[in-house]
Amino acid sequence: MMLPDMLLPTYTQMLGTMSSWLDKARAQRPDTADALLAARLAADMFPLATQVRFACRQAQEGVFRLQRRDFPPALDALLDEGRNGAEAPGTIADAQARIAETLAVIDTAARKGIAIDPASRIEHALPIGMVLDVTAQGYARDWALPQFYFHVVTAYAILRAEGIELGKADYAAHMLGYLRPPTA
């Protein structure tokens, strides 16, 4: 299996799922849904607004890094927007717009195709000055997916902690496509 065949559908499924959680939040709290974007699991963690934006950032970063392309300015803007999520959380519509923009980036990458040797080397510089030298496979397995899922799961946990009615079926809704009909 090629790395993009694993990453791109995962990003697409889970970002779409996250957007549906935001739809549920809006439906369950029509007058206060936007306030959920400021909610946090712990005082020293980023709020929901940031979790959504960082999940989008991680997905786009994975796409651009595996395409061996420089990050566009919009990706830095998304990072800054996420870092400032506590001061300017925005609205549910803003968060869903970032998800839609990310899905468009992923869709473009999927249509163009990403051909990368899993053993090829990737240099991944961290903001704290450290540099990771990993294979493309190691990057996908040990960085791209875990970082992406960290922010997705944290967004889910924040919404649950704030009383939004979500369950396992909401988290893994994409699996219903695999359901054997007589067992439903």
SS3 label, residue 111: helix
Model confidence at 66: pLDDT above 80 = yes
pLDDT in tens, 144-169: 999 999 999 999 999 999 999 999 98
Contact 7, 66 (CB under 8 A): yes
CB hemisphere CA count around 43 (13 angstroms): 0
Q: How confident is the model at residue 2 (pLDDT cuts 50, 70, 90)?
A: low
Q: Tens digit of pLDDT for each residue in 111-142?
A: 887 778 888 898 888 878 898 899 999 999 99
Cα–Cα distance between 179 and 184 in angstroms, integer?
7
Please, which pLDDT band fits residue 18 given cuts at 50, 70 and 90? very high
- In tens, the pLDDT along 89-100 reads 999 999 999 999
How confident is the model over 174-179, as a mean pLDDT?
A: 85
Q: Which domains, ranges and CATH numbers included, belong to the chain?
A: 3-183 (1.20.120.450)
More confident residue, 61 or 175: 61
* Two tokens, residue 19: 């957007």
H/E stretch holding 131: strand 131-135
Minimum mean pLDDT range among 22-31, 44-53, 87-96, 124-133: 124-133
> What is the pTM assigned to this prediction?
0.92
- Please compute the mean of the pLDDT values over residues 42-65 and round it to a whole number: 95
Q: What pLDDT, on a 0 to 100 scale, did the predictor assign at position 91?
A: 97
